[in-house]
């Protein structure tokens, strides 16, 4: 009878240890997956922000270049008109 009780206690201890190990492994896997997902989301957000900033900077540069070209053309046309009026 004592042997049966000891065997039952050992089986219960082994089952409890196995369950605890499985739960710990599952928790570790879930934490790792959550951390990986968070890192991927942060990286995607950083890439999107960088792309948006680069596009906005390129648009600003294009607008500034076009504005400078327009100002130069207006100044040149004005000079040509002034010279034509003075000469003619």
Say whether pLDDT at 12 is over 80: yes
Q: How many CA atoms lie within 13 A of 75 on its CB side?
A: 6
- b (16+ CB within 10 A) / e for 43-76: eeeeeeeeeeeeeeeeeeeeeeeeeeeeeeeeee
pLDDT of res. 83: 92
Retrieve residue 23's tokens. Answer: 């739960």
Tens of pLDDT along 34-86?
999 999 999 999 999 999 999 999 999 999 999 999 999 999 999 999 999 98
pLDDT of res. 4: 80
């Amino acid at each position: 009878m004592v042997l049966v009780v000891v065997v039952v206690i050992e089986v219960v201890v082994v089952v409890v240890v196995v369950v605890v190990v499985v739960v710990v492994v599952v928790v570790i896997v879930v934490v790792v997956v959550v951390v990986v997902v968070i890192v991927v989301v942060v990286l995607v957000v950083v890439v999107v922000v960088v792309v948006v900033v680069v596009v906005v900077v390129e648009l600003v540069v294009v607008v500034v270049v076009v504005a400078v070209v327009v100002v130069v053309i207006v100044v040149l046309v004005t000079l040509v008109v002034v010279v034509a009026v003075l000469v003619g």
